């Protein structure tokens, strides 16, 4: 007899593992079938944006983000010209270390993928609802109206069969689920944006010392080994907009890992495999690692010691901006690279997969709890929403790519000078420095079947702030209070009173609300929109499942050694961001993917909102 589970996930990379971890939190039985034996030791993706950090936070591994997984990407510097100088003045510099994007996190972390995957898999191993099986190769898929049947060969070489309500293909752009099963059913990759081939190198750097390299000339000038490393491998990311050979480079992982990524374009007529060889890569990269003598007042140029560089990876890769026409057929679903692929200019590859599964996990949970719901419409609404957000991410990525790969000298001249002139105006300079974050939080445009009320802030991504919890007398991320792991409701109610008195009144009325299949009033979270409130009065409001906190300041967050460890203090943080974004409304119903279902002013209006949930969620 075939083994039974609720969801089978094909592929245990970042997207598949994240889906399993999220389903485990929702107590949905799931099994991951991964063909490789262990976690990749060859880092491919190295950038994760703030939405990705927020998703890691959602599964409880925030404490590892800046201590085990990676470091904040401080800046993206766009440098033009035909030179080989990392230090030329950039025509555009984007500051990634601020906390003004609305998530409470810096814009980007440059991560070490093996550490990222291990952190996610550790949460799977700790959850009884999630199971990951390595060295399992899917060999067949079939389905009927009620279930999907998957044939696979396990780690012992035995043929096995497993049945589930849904199968999610998170097995990459060439994976079995799409290529062998869904493409014959009409699912194709669309929206091609010119294909390019680049070479990606990962280096591990060893510090030279006076003992190991006594002839290195900078010792005589008083430089330390770490200062030499910083000189040749600066911490800020560089987009080298060289017309003849565009490139991108920067550190990734933890500072002590001393890992370096360098990517460069393979030009027309060049053989990609040849360009990835040591002979060719050294021709391209070492001119950047050779500093002119006059910089140090020396007679000879200074080159970083070649024997201090260990090549971990040097491979060509091709990419296009593409997305599938549909991300599901029947009970078989695609997520991550299996559904869409990105150019490497915006750190959106892994994050986009995380966004996919954060929205998918709660819908699969809904279908698990409500098995008679129309699964086709529920899943269709998911991927149509995601396609809207994907277009936004894709546009920002393509813009970065156009900056980097512009080969027309005249257009590059206009680009450099127009951006330089724009930065003469302080407000424009600030907008440019914020980069794509300047556009604010994502908001979906409503279509039939989308699970939110389009009036007001419905369909908007909920900002995240810092909140002071009166029970523990410590600072938390607001998500961690709203979506606390012990809560049973799928949706959550958030109160945003301006005072303790208003919080008391709202809470009294909310507790009178009737039971709801999708939201439990007793699990309400409130965040008082003031930080100078009486702590004793705030503590008296808590109990019976509800939690009323207050906003916390940037200084309080910075003082929290657990939350601010390894990351920059929250510059430009706005503790009242949630209230401002939703227009000062007092009550908001929040979906598990952090999008707002609806917001309103009074509990009377809230009753109408709650009555609409069944119709919106069960098409």
Contacts of 185 (CB under 8 A, 6+ apart): 329
H helical segments located in 329-408: 349-369, 375-405
**DSSP-derived secondary structure letter, 308:** G
Q: What span, in angstroms and rounded, lies between the C-alpha atoms of 18 and 353?
A: 9
In CATH, what class is 460-617?
A: alpha beta
| Whether residue 601 has pLDDT greater than 90 | yes
164 vs 417, more confident: 164
| Whether residue 319 has pLDDT greater than 80 | no
Average of pLDDT values for 211-223? Answer: 97
Contact 312, 297 (CB under 8 A): no
| Whether residue 193 has pLDDT greater than 60 | no
From 135, 73, 37, select the one nearest 567 (Cα to Cα).
73
Domain made up of 193-318: CATH architecture: 2-Layer Sandwich (3.30)
Q: Lowest-pLDDT range, 92-106, 280-294, 334-348, 391-405?
A: 391-405
pLDDT of residue 363: 98
Confidence of residue 92 (pLDDT cuts 50, 70, 90): confident
From 343, 339, 340, 338, select the one nearest 317 (Cα to Cα).
343
Confidence of residue 322 (pLDDT cuts 50, 70, 90): confident
pLDDT of residue 43: 78
Strand ranges inside 191-321, DSSP E:
196-205, 237-241, 247-252, 259-265, 290-291, 302-303, 309-319
pLDDT tens profile 231-280: 999 999 999 988 889 999 999 999 999 999 999 999 999 999 999 999 99
Confidence of residue 224 (pLDDT cuts 50, 70, 90): very high
**DSSP-derived secondary structure letter, 521:** G
Confidence of residue 429 (pLDDT cuts 50, 70, 90): confident
Mean pLDDT score of the chain, rounded to an integer? 92
Angstrom distances, CA of residue 460 to CA of 162, 377, 449: 38, 21, 16
Contact 580, 574 (CB under 8 A): yes
Domains of the chain: which residue ranges?
Answer: 3-46+112-188+325-405, 193-318, 409-439, 460-617
Superfamily of domain 3-46+112-188+325-405: FAD/NAD(P)-binding domain (3.50.50.60)
Confidence of residue 335 (pLDDT cuts 50, 70, 90): very high
pLDDT tens profile 136-179: 999 999 999 999 999 999 999 999 999 999 999 999 989 999 99
The CB density around residue 294, as the number of other CB atoms within 10 Å, is 9
Q: What span, in angstroms and rounded, lies between the C-alpha atoms of 76 and 404?
A: 12
Q: What percent of the chain shows pLDDT beyond 90? A: 78
Give 15-72 as a DSSP string.
HHHHHHHHHHHTT--EEEE-SSSS--SS----EEEHHHHHHHHHTT-HHHIIIIIEEE
């Amino acid at each position: 007899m075939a083994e039974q589970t609720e969801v089978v996930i094909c592929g245990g990379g970042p997207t598949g593992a994240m889906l399993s971890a999220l389903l485990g939190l929702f107590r949905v039985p799931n099994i991951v079938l991964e063909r490789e034996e262990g976690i990749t030791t060859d880092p491919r993706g190295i950038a994760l944006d703030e939405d990705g950090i927020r998703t890691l936070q959602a599964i409880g591994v925030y404490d590892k983000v800046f201590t085990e997984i990676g470091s904040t990407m401080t800046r993206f510097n766009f440098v033009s010209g035909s030179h080989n100088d990392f230090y030329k003045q950039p025509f555009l510099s984007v500051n990634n270390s601020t906390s003004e994007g609305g998530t409470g996190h810096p814009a980007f972390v440059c991560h070490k993928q093996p550490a990222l995957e291990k952190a996610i898999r550790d949460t799977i191993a700790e959850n009884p609802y999630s199971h990951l099986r390595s060295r399992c190769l899917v060999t067949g898929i079939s389905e009927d109206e009620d279930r999907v049947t998957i044939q696979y060969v396990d780690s012992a070489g035995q043929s096995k069969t497993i049945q589930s309500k849904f199968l999610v293909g998170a097995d990459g752009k060439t994976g079995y689920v799409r290529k062998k099963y869904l493409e014959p059913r009409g699912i194709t990759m669309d929206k091609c944006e010119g294909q390019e081939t680049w070479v990606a190198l990962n280096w591990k750097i060893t510090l030279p010392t006076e003992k190991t390299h006594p002839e290195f000339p900078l010792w005589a000038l008083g430089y330390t080994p770490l200062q030499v490393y910083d000189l040749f491998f600066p911490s800020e990311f560089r987009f080298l907009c060289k017309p003849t050979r565009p490139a991108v480079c920067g550190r990734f992982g933890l500072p002590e890992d001393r890992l370096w990524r360098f990517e460069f374009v393979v030009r027309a007529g060049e053989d990609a495999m040849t360009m990835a060889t040591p002979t060719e890569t050294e021709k391209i990269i070492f001119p950047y690692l050779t500093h002119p003598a006059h910089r140090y007042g020396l007679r000879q140029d200074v080159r970083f010691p070649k024997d201090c560089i260990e090549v971990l990876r040097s491979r060509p890769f091709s990419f296009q901006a593409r997305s599938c026409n549909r991300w599901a057929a029947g009970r078989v679903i695609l997520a991550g690279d299996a559904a869409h692929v990105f150019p490497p200019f915006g750190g959106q590859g892994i994050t986009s997969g995380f966004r996919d599964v954060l929205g998918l996990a709660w819908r699969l949970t809904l279908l698990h709890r409500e098995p008679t719901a129309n699964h086709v419409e529920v899943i269709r609404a998911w991927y149509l929403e995601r396609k809207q957000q994907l277009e936004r991410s894709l546009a920002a990525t393509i813009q970065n790519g156009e900056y980097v790969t512009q080969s027309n000298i005249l257009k590059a001249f206009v680009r450099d000078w127009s951006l330089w002139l724009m930065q003469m105006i302080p407000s424009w300079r600030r907008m440019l420095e914020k980069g794509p974050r300047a556009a604010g939080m994502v908001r979906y445009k409503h279509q039939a079947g989308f699970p939110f009320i389009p009036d007001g802030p419905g369909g908007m991504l909920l900002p995240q702030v810092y909140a002071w919890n009166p029970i523990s007398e410590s600072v938390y991320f607001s998500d961690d209070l709203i979506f606390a792991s012990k809560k049973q409701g799928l949706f959550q109610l958030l109160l945003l009173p301006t005072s303790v008195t208003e919080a008391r009144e709202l809470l009294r009325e909310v507790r009178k609300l009737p039971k709801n299949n999708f939201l439990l009033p007793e699990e309400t979270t409130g965040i008082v929109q003031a930080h100078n409130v009486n702590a004793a009065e705030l503590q008296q409001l808590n109990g019976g499942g509800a939690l009323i906190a207050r906003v916390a300041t940037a200084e309080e967050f910075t003082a929290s050694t657990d939350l601010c460890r390894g990351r920059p203090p929250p510059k430009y943080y706005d503790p009242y961001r949630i209230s401002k974004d939703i227009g000062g409304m007092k009550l908001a119903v929040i979906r598990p993917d952090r999008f707002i279902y609806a917001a309103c002013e009074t509990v009377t209006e809230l009753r109408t909102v709650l009555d609409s949930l069944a119709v919106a969620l069960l098409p």
